[in-house]
């Protein structure tokens, strides 16, 4: 089957062998330059640069830079020069690294799953994807950029499932222009959920379908991951900022105290906690839980013509800066009746016996996308 | 891994990879050329060092022609120059020893070496006197480096100034 020209499907044995060979005979930096993972959101740019260390990697550089409001709005670049200026500031902190991998926002993505017959050539798959636009993507193929990852190959020559990501060409070109103007070589663009999935997915063939919840400051992104490949993404206007604002106002707390309250009291406060703050927390958590449950039940109960469950969701994984709200995983687990946990962002980055990253576990949730992008440099 | 970079940006990335590959390839080729030059440098220096050396006085007295003397001088100078580098090269050492035992009345103008087991060295030239040729043969026979020293009887009994050849064998 030739469709695996850009495939992410590699047998685990081959992957291990490849990793061992790469460790002993690393590709010279001159041929394959190091590249930072750069996560651009409406409010900030986060970057993370990895370098090989012992059996895995270590963080060479990381950070966050706040960008002016209006430069990026809902993931769309409104001010290319402004973004380029911010990126050039980031470049100065990368220690001479001028290449980057970046992610495009889920709001602008059209992600779907397709089945392709066995023996389909890469170009034919691209043609099939273009046909698949109808009814799924409201953009003409000529005005879109798209690519696919192979999710799994079926036995007995029954073909393969692929996850397709489509974006508007204009959006992608704006990102490319900003990186060019900043003097950075952009090596790849991918959907944000794919980057996060790279950090949390085990790539094991028996990994359950995962509902990824990226609980951010202003919005929450949902992605259904099948073996680490997104087959659906959406965003809702529920974010942690609302909680922060309400708690700060009602309890008259400083931003630091509010953060502390969210992280240490959260949804399971001490007996002497003020009920006003709790109401704000419960209100937002409930709205988020409704959305999680809606997505979860839709995907969990989808059945094919034979009546078999197509995407039985096995777990819910939380990432994003607002996922630190104490008690949130238990609260959501109670609502969707499924295992729910906060992601371990460093799972594939480092082994804690060998290296402790300088970013603590709470802050690491904000770097999930950047870490996934940085891992891309190492073909993880 | 999927990559939704626009085509032009993908091409730019590939151009960068290609340029880096070409530069890396060029550097490897340059390094190989440098190593080759370094390996050839001693020979080059030896050749050039041999040119200005004037003929020593003992060879001036020999019966050979000016050209032969010049060639011999050049070979000797080259062997001397290269001696630190080719100290372990037994054939070169063997030639040096064969030439160093040569009396002034003997002129060598041709040396043939064959790397058999044992190695074989054939010296050809002219002998001013029969005694000189006999003495040269005896001097070489006394050296344990040579297993056999053979001079055809006809050459040993030849006229003064006649040509001769001498076969030397040994482990070199």
Say which residue, A39 or A31, is predicted with more confidence: A39
Residues of B in contact with A166 (CB under 8 A): 4
Please check the confidence at residue A1 and state whether its pLDDT lies above 50: no
pLDDT tens string B45-81:
877 765 544 444 454 455 556 777 777 777 777 777 7
Residues of A in contact with B3 (CB under 8 A): 6, 147, 188-190
| 3-class secondary-structure state, position B46 | helix
> Between vectors from CA A228 to CA A226 and to CA A234, what angle results, nearest 5°?
70
- Biggest alpha carbon–alpha carbon distance for chain B: 95
Put simply, whether A376 touches B (Cβ < 8 Å) is yes
Distance CA B96, CA B113 (A): 13
B10 → chain A, closest CA residue? A187
Instruction: Name the region of A183 (left: φ>0; alpha: ψ -120 to 50; beta: rest).
Output: left
Q: Residue window 4-63, chain B: list those with CB within 8 Å of chain A.
A: 4-6, 9, 12-13, 16-17, 20-21, 23-24
- The alpha carbons of chain B give a radius of gyration, in whole angstroms, of 27
Please check the confidence at residue A87 and state whether its pLDDT lies above 50: yes
Half-sphere exposure for A310 (CA within 13 Å, toward CB)? 15
Whole-model pTM: value is 0.74
Say which residue, A371 or A240, is predicted with more confidence: A371
Half-sphere exposure for A233 (CA within 13 Å, toward CB)? 27
pLDDT category, B97, cuts 50, 70, 90? confident
Distance CA A184, CA A179 (A): 5
What string of H, E and C letters represents the secondary structure of A162-218?
EEEEEEEHHHHHHHHHHHHHCCCEEEEEEEHHHHHHHHHCCCCCCCCEEEEEEECCC
ipTM score of complex: 0.85
pLDDT category, A218, cuts 50, 70, 90? confident
Put simply, whether A30 touches B (Cβ < 8 Å) is yes
CA A18 vs CA A25, A61, A380, B115: distances in Å: 10, 26, 11, 48
C-alpha A150: how far from chain center: 17
What string of H, E and C letters represents the secondary structure of B75-100?
HHHHHHHHCCCCCCCHHHHHHHHHHH
Distance CA B72, CA B49 (A): 14
Determine, for residues B3 and A148 on separate chains, whether the beta-carbon distance falls below 8 Å.
no
pLDDT category, A268, cuts 50, 70, 90? confident
Q: Beta-strand (E) ranges in A54-119?
A: 56-66, 72-73, 76-77, 99-104, 110-116
DSSP B125-140: EEES-HHHHHHHHHHH
| A31, A148, A185: residue with CB nearest B24 | A31
Place of tokens 């309400």: A246
Packed helices A275-300 and A328-336: angle between N→C axes, nearest 10 degrees: 40
DSSP A133-173: TTTT-SS-GGGEEEEEEEEEEPSTT--EEEEEEEEEHHHHH
| B3, B9, B12: residue with CB nearest A147 | B3
Residue A4 DSSP class: G
Distance CA A254, CA A145 (A): 44
Number of Cβ atoms within 10 Å of the Cβ of B80: 14
Considering chain A, what is the average pLDDT of its residues?
Answer: 89
């Amino acid at each position: 089957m030739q469709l695996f020209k850009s495939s992410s499907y590699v047998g685990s044995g081959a992957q291990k062998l490849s990793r061992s060979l790469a460790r002993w005979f690393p590709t010279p930096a001159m041929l394959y330059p190091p590249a930072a993972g750069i996560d651009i959101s409406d409010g900030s740019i986060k970057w993370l640069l990895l370098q090989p260390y012992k059996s895995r990697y270590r963080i060479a550089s990381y950070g966050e830079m706040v960008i002016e409001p209006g430069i990026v709005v809902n993931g769309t670049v409104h001010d290319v020069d402004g973004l380029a200026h911010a990126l050039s500031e980031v470049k100065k902190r990368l220690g001479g690294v001028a290449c980057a991998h970046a992610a495009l926002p889920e709001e602008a993505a059209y992600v779907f799953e397709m089945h392709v017959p066995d023996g389909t050539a890469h170009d034919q798959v691209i043609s099939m994807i273009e046909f698949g636009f109808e009814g799924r993507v409201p953009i003409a193929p000529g005005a879109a950029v798209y690519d696919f990852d192979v999710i799994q190959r079926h036995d007995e020559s029954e073909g393969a499932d692929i996850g397709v990501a489509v974006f508007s060409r204009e959006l992608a070109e704006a990102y490319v222009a900003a990186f060019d103007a900043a003097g950075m070589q952009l090596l790849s663009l991918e959907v944000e959920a794919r980057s996060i999935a790279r950090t949390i997915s085990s790539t094991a063939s028996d990994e359950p379908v995962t509902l990824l919840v990226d609980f951010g400051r202003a919005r929450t992104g949902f992605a259904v991951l099948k073996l680490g490949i997104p087959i659906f993404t959406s965003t809702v206007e529920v974010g942690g900022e609302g909680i922060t604002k309400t708690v700060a106002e009602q309890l008259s707390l400083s931003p630091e105290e509010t953060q502390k309250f969210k992280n240490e009291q959260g949804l399971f406060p001490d007996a002497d906690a003020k009920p006003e703050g709790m109401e704000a927390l419960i209100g937002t958590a409930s709205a988020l839980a409704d959305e999680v449950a809606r997505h979860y039940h839709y995907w969990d109960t989808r059945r094919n013509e034979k009546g078999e469950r197509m995407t039985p969701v096995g777990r819910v994984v939380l990432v994003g800066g607002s996922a630190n709200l104490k008690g949130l995983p238990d609260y959501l687990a109670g609502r969707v009746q499924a295992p729910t946990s906060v992601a371990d962002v460093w799972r594939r980055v480092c082994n804690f016996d060998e290296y402790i990253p300088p970013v603590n576990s709470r802050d690491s949730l904000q770097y999930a996308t950047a870490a996934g992008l940085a891992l891309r440099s190492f073909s993880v | 891994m999927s990559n939704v970079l626009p085509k032009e940006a993908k091409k730019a990335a590939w151009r960068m990879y290609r340029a880096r590959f070409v530069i890396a390839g060029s550097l490897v080729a340059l390094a190989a050329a440098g190593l080759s030059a370094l390996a050839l440098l001693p020979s080059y220096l030896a050749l050039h060092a041999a040119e200005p050396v004037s003929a020593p006085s003992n060879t001036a007295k020999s019966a050979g022609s000016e050209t032969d003397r010049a060639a011999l001088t050049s070979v000797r100078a080259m062997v001397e120059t290269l001696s630190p580098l080719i100290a372990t090269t037994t054939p070169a050492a063997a030639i040096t020893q064969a030439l160093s035992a040569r009396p002034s009345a003997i002129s060598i103008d041709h040396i043939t070496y064959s790397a058999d087991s044992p190695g074989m060295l054939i010296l050809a030239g002219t002998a001013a006197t029969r005694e000189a040729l006999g003495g040269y043969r005896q001097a070489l026979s006394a050296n344990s480096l040579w297993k056999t020293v053979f001079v055809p009887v006809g050459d040993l009994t030849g006229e003064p100034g006649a040509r001769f050849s001498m076969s030397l064998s040994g482990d070199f």
